[in-house]
Chains A and B, each alone.
Chain A
Amino acid sequence: MAIVQPKSIKYRLLATHLVMWAFIAVIAFPLVMVIAISFRTGNFAVGDIIPTNPTLDHWKLALGMSIQNADGSITPPPFPVLRWLWNSIKVAGISAGLIVVLSTTCAYAFARLRFQGKDLILKGMLIFQMFPAVLALVAIYALFDKIGDYIPWLGLNTHGGLILAYMGGIALHVWTIKGYFETIDPSLEEAASIDGATPWQAFRLILLPLSVPILAVVFILAFIAAITEVPMASILLSDVNNLTLAVGAQQYLYPQNYLWGDFAAAAVMSGLPITIVFLLAQRWLVGGLTAGGVKG
């Protein structure tokens, strides 16, 4: 606070703020537009930012309610949007949870244990992760088709299958958590083992409680990725009732009739679970958990 600043700092500060506000506006604008479309009468992509005749019709349809048209006819909701939302939350929540479990244990092995081929596997994981899973869609389809013959609840058109597919993408999470584990002094676990802890106890009682922030980060990232993922889900799921919101919302858009308004309402809704998870996870995103344990 006490550093003496030159006079021009005022203007530079002002300029910085202007740039930042402009940047925020650019980022926020599309979101504002989508919200505006969802309240606009009719299904138009362009129009006023603040709708002149705001209507709740799109939201009513999205929330599963019928609407009465001006001519007295009744339009039933075309798609089970709420069900899609629930599917999304279920798939994203379960797969994010399993991803955290898998990648944590995996990262522990890479960070702490000595075994042959460790470097090779680590680098291999990173390199394989570089090929987008989208390129393997055909293979994934064929694989799950076959799996379904033996284990029906993991086959095509099941949420189990989709969750299993999402769990394939943990390499980056493993790297992230491994990096965090390596910042924790191994003498903590050595002390625990002298205190009588098994490796599992040292992991669960010492290492995990100290790693909560990074686990929260990985959970959020995995959750967001699963909620917004389209290609894999669109290939694996086919039943209208089974779709996730990200895939289902596209049903509003077909060449003969782009239902922009209904689509926008569904899109805004798909942002809700992410926001809620973020708010819930925030309390775990704290630093300084390992402070005071060791002195380097």
Chain B
Amino acid sequence: MADVILKNVRKNYDPAVLKDTLRNIELNIKEGEFIVFVGPSGCGKSTLLRMIAGLEDITSGELSIGGKYMNDVPPVERNVGMVFQSYALYPHMNVYENMAFGLKLKKMDKETIHKRVSRAAEILGLVPLLERKPKALSGGQRQRVAIGRSIVQQPSVFLFDEPLSNLDAALRVKMRIEIAKLHKELNSTIIYVTHDQVEAMTLADKIVVLSPLKESAESNLEQYGSPLDLYHNPSNKFVAGFIGSPKMNFLDGILVEIGLDKCKIKLNSGDIVTACVDARRGKVGDKVELGIRPEHLVPVDHPDAVGRLSGQVQVAEHLGAESFVYMEVDGKDFTVKAASEIPVDTGDTLEVGVPAQACYLFDSTEQAFPRTAKYNRT
């Protein structure tokens, strides 16, 4: 069990040729927390994990685990366990030998090894498979062996590099729940990399959102906070667009009225929308972007429907319990998640209500204005 602290960490694979992959990463991970690194591909999340593991060196900055400076410490002495995306099981050893390999290298006595491996096998339900070679295991079982191999080492920090991305959808949900249970049971620090924001939202105590580094940007650490915090109060447009499924809708407009806890925005389509956002940092006439989550839109006769938007329906998907309507508003894609069936089809015009509490607002540099309310559709 240990804290993991990153200070001003930067990674550059080849300074002569390439620009930075990661810049100015500041993280303070507390003991026992489940942290998820999330971001689109190429944002450096796996690189960051590998730097914590010691598989990549740190270009500049400082990494400490359990209060010890770890920049130049080889992987084995960092007391971390890692589960690879590809599982990386040793093909010529059976399940037992796979898990015992690290302990044997550390010259532990046979009894301790046996005890630890048996315990891990019990936790993960691998007892009947101990004699099998990896090629005789299914994907989910291989994944469990990979997890078991790191458990037996009793590391202070577990590192998971997209562990579920090779599994099929049903197995992924099952393993996700098992990993959550495992965290409760072991109560150790876990750092988990994924590009799947559902995994991130369901597993994490705190989420780290990373973006592909722009040349001018100070850092590609976009936000670090609890899942609901990221959902309700994203610090910028990138996080707002990345967290939530389907993606948040964005519409361009200008500020026309600024109040204490409310403001009015005139959209390019001409509609005026009231938003529960503290926009006092901006001024009237500023260009802004309005964000609305698909699941927050309501029918026009709903009591919360303060503003209105209308658009042309492109495609409507009826899933039974809910419906997705993809339409075009002011020349931009706009998604509506309706609670039940709504009788629309391609080519129809649909009008939806926009609750003032459901609005997010971003300035011209894509930074968010503070929201003054949260919204949950009832």
Interface residues of A (CB under 8 A from B): 185, 187-188, 190-197, 201, 205-206, 209-210, 288-296
| Chain A, Cβ-Cβ closest to B105 | A196
A129 to chain B, nearest CB (A): 31
State the CA gap A185–B87 with chains docked (Å). 10
- A-B contacts, 28 listed (Cβ < 8 Å): A185-B86, A187-B84, A187-B88, A188-B88, A188-B90, A191-B88, A191-B89, A193-B76, A194-B54, A194-B75, A195-B102, A195-B105, A195-B149, A201-B105, A206-B90, A289-B91, A291-B135, A292-B135, A292-B137, A292-B142, A293-B88, A293-B91, A294-B84, A294-B86, A294-B88, A295-B86, A295-B139, A295-B166
B5 to chain A, nearest CB (A): 20
> Max chain B CB contacts within 10 Å: which of A193, A289, A291, A292?
A292
> Max chain A CB contacts within 10 Å: which of B91, B134, B150?
B91
> Max chain B CB contacts within 10 Å: which of A195, A196, A210, A295?
A195
On whether the beta carbons of B92 and A294 are closer than 8 Å, the reply is no
Interface of chain B residues 38 through 95 with chain A (CB within 8 A): 53-55, 74-76, 80-82, 84-92
On chain B, the residues within 8 Å of A210 by CB distance are 91-92
B165 to chain A, nearest CB (A): 10
- At the interface, yes or no: B169 with Cβ under 8 Å from chain A? no
On whether the beta carbons of B86 and A296 are closer than 8 Å, the reply is yes
| Chain A, Cβ-Cβ closest to B55 | A190
On whether the beta carbons of A293 and B134 are closer than 8 Å, the reply is yes
On chain A, the residues within 8 Å of B91 by CB distance are 210, 289-293
State the CA gap A152–B74 with chains docked (Å). 46
State the CA gap A268–B356 with chains docked (Å). 95
A28 to chain B, nearest CB (A): 39
On chain A, the residues within 8 Å of B89 by CB distance are 191, 292-294
On whether the beta carbons of B76 and A195 are closer than 8 Å, the reply is yes
Known A194-B82, A195-B102, A197-B105: A293·B87 in contact at CB below 8 Å: yes
State the CA gap A104–B98 with chains docked (Å). 24
On whether the beta carbons of B149 and A190 are closer than 8 Å, the reply is no
On chain A, the residues within 8 Å of B101 by CB distance are 192, 195, 205
State the CA gap A208–B47 with chains docked (Å). 28
State the CA gap A190–B135 with chains docked (Å). 20
A136 to chain B, nearest CB (A): 39
Instruction: Determine which of A197, A206, A292 lies in contact with B134 in the assembled complex, contact meaning CB atoms within 8 Å.
Output: A292
State the CA gap A295–B87 with chains docked (Å). 7
On chain A, the residues within 8 Å of B76 by CB distance are 193-197
On chain A, the residues within 8 Å of B82 by CB distance are 190-191, 194
Interface of chain B residues 101 through 115 with chain A (CB within 8 A): 101-102, 105-106
On whether the beta carbons of B105 and A295 are closer than 8 Å, the reply is no
Q: Identify the 7 closest CB pairs spanning chains A and B, nearest first.
A: A292-B135, A195-B102, A293-B91, A292-B134, A294-B86, A196-B76, A191-B88
State the CA gap A292–B135 with chains docked (Å). 4
- At the interface, yes or no: B136 with Cβ under 8 Å from chain A? yes
B339 to chain A, nearest CB (A): 39
On whether the beta carbons of A209 and B92 are closer than 8 Å, the reply is yes
On chain B, the residues within 8 Å of A296 by CB distance are 86
On whether the beta carbons of B105 and A292 are closer than 8 Å, the reply is no
| Chain A, Cβ-Cβ closest to B99 | A195
On chain A, the residues within 8 Å of B137 by CB distance are 292
State the CA gap A292–B95 with chains docked (Å). 12
B116 to chain A, nearest CB (A): 13
- At the interface, yes or no: B153 with Cβ under 8 Å from chain A? yes
- At the interface, yes or no: B133 with Cβ under 8 Å from chain A? yes
On chain A, the residues within 8 Å of B85 by CB distance are 187
On chain B, the residues within 8 Å of A295 by CB distance are 86-87, 139, 142, 166
| Chain A, Cβ-Cβ closest to B81 | A194
B162 to chain A, nearest CB (A): 12
B232 to chain A, nearest CB (A): 37
| Chain A, Cβ-Cβ closest to B84 | A187
On whether the beta carbons of B102 and A196 are closer than 8 Å, the reply is yes
On chain B, the residues within 8 Å of A187 by CB distance are 84-86, 88
B17 to chain A, nearest CB (A): 14
6 other A-B residue contacts (CB within 8 Å) besides A194-B150, A292-B135, A295-B142:
A187-B85, A194-B82, A293-B87, A293-B88, A293-B135, A295-B87
Instruction: Determine which of A194, A290, A291, A294 lies in contact with B80 in the assembled complex, contact meaning CB atoms within 8 Å.
Output: A194
A189 to chain B, nearest CB (A): 9
On chain B, the residues within 8 Å of A201 by CB distance are 105
A279 to chain B, nearest CB (A): 24
B129 to chain A, nearest CB (A): 12
B144 to chain A, nearest CB (A): 14
On whether the beta carbons of A190 and B88 are closer than 8 Å, the reply is yes
On chain A, the residues within 8 Å of B87 by CB distance are 293-295
| Chain A, Cβ-Cβ closest to B161 | A187
State the CA gap A157–B123 with chains docked (Å). 67
On chain B, the residues within 8 Å of A185 by CB distance are 86, 88
On chain A, the residues within 8 Å of B149 by CB distance are 191, 195
State the CA gap A38–B74 with chains docked (Å). 65
A172 to chain B, nearest CB (A): 27
